A and B are shown apart, each in its own frame.
Chain A
């Protein structure tokens, strides 16, 4: 219990449903320790983004949490008043989004967009926030901060926008950053740089990251722990090294077999094994049955 209380993020048995009763999250449990990178891996539609949004308090109105708790540094988010929850989430978390274009306000210049947030969250003066932003832009290796601060988002390349967003995410020194497929929308050549940059800033700032990805290659590079998600259910969780050395769940093994290997282009064409998916479907159906009739 003591060890759990110290978690940066602790999700316990979180379930969420759509208006039609479909479960998008199935008793998800997941924790991120301070300063650690936890990867959340799964195919598209598995519910990875939903988990991130649940943590950050921005689930779409149609998605309803029906059970479970979320603890941010030991504080139960469900027990807080909406306003207090917003303030807490605002102060302790940040998001590095999937699409760096729409995550920046198109009609506002980069500079004020970034400083505003610091002034708001930390109550700093505009001047202090400005200094801080410049320092962060330097850390994300933006060489001409003066120009970038005066730019509108569409005047920057995708890679530059993502650097700006990474700088913005780390600027307020959050305890937890949710990175939702932060390299997916970028050119392949830029992906590696951005990944390296996130890893470097994570190390220097000691920030815990919940790193959402569909790419096992990325998982291996960046994370210490990993949770494998399928259809809103965590099917396996392990230390990253252990997972790659000896995947336990058949789905994890199938996912690994389906992951493209750069040396063998044809390997990328292999779908996840059908028998494994059939087995999973049965497993999930059984779990749903048990969930609907907890006493019978």
Chain B
């Protein structure tokens, strides 16, 4: 009883902390032009490698310092959040839609449909994902939509596998049989009876996948395969920061911290939501 209460408190705290960070980052991304203190692209050689605000030599208005071209780091991170969130939402939603649908069908109908879908998933997962992503972007060309497509194409299998297994477990339950006896059709049962029971897992996976999409986008930007324009991306900033680590550590550390916080928040937020959504865990 006590343990359950503690874990419930824990999960609530996780949900609020993670959700809080994501909300701040999301709002900053949406209202970037309003909240960013500087133009993220404006270079000023007079202001290069300014340290963050608590160190001597910092300039007011450049809270997290500047990079080697004198661009404001905080503003670049805020504008980078735009791309991170666009990729997170679009790629995760696409992967979720495809993967969950196929997983639901394979798990519920079993038999032939399941054999085909499971086979495809197995073959798909034989490719190492990062290599797969780089290959896809190389074929599709760089750009925001290629990155989104690449992530969705690679990661739908994650949804498919988990949702298939969950659906299978649910389909064996007597309530499904009961609905059959009452005369409900198969597709109706799949959507009305089974689907609601796998929704908590779908939500948790979706959030996790958003975090993964943020990382993959960062990796692709890091190796300069993501967006070809000058738009700042977290991965791109990290790549630049790596080059000036000895002169300006903050250019590497702040985007890394931002990235890690965001990715962790997505996964914790997902777990928290699952606990919220699931009537048995609640």
Contacts and interface: CB of A to CB of B under 8 A. Distances in A.
Contacts of A61: 110-111
B184 A120 contact: yes
Interface in A65-92: 86-87, 89-91
B139 interface: no
Interface of A: 53, 56-58, 61, 86-87, 89-91, 93-95, 97-99, 102-108, 117, 120-121, 152, 154
A102 B175 contact: yes
B279 interface: yes
B177 interface: yes
A279 to B, nearest CB: 36
A248 to B, nearest CB: 34
B72 to A, nearest CB: 48
Nearest to B172: A102
B182 A117 contact: yes
B196 interface: yes
A97 B174 contact: yes
B183 A89 contact: yes
B182 A120 contact: yes
Interface residues of B, number: 20
A106 B183 contact: no
Contacts of B180: 57-58, 86
Interface string B196-220: 1101000000000000000000000
Interface of B: 110-111, 173-175, 177-178, 180-185, 193, 196-197, 199, 278-280
A93 B280 contact: no
Given A86-B183, A105-B193, A107-B279, 9 more contacts: A58-B181, A89-B181, A93-B181, A94-B181, A97-B178, A103-B173, A105-B197, A107-B196, A120-B184
A107 B196 CA distance: 7
Contacts of B111: 61
A118 to B, nearest CB: 9
Contacts of B183: 86-87, 89-91, 120-121
Contacts of B280: 106, 152, 154
Contact of B175 (A56, A58, A94, A103): A103
B224 to A, nearest CB: 46
A106 B197 contact: yes
Contacts of B175: 102-106
A90 B184 CA distance: 8
A19 to B, nearest CB: 13
Contacts of B184: 120
A57 B181 contact: yes
19 contacts: A53-B177, A86-B180, A86-B183, A89-B181, A90-B181, A93-B181, A94-B181, A95-B177, A95-B178, A98-B174, A102-B173, A102-B174, A105-B193, A106-B175, A107-B196, A108-B193, A120-B183, A120-B184, A121-B182
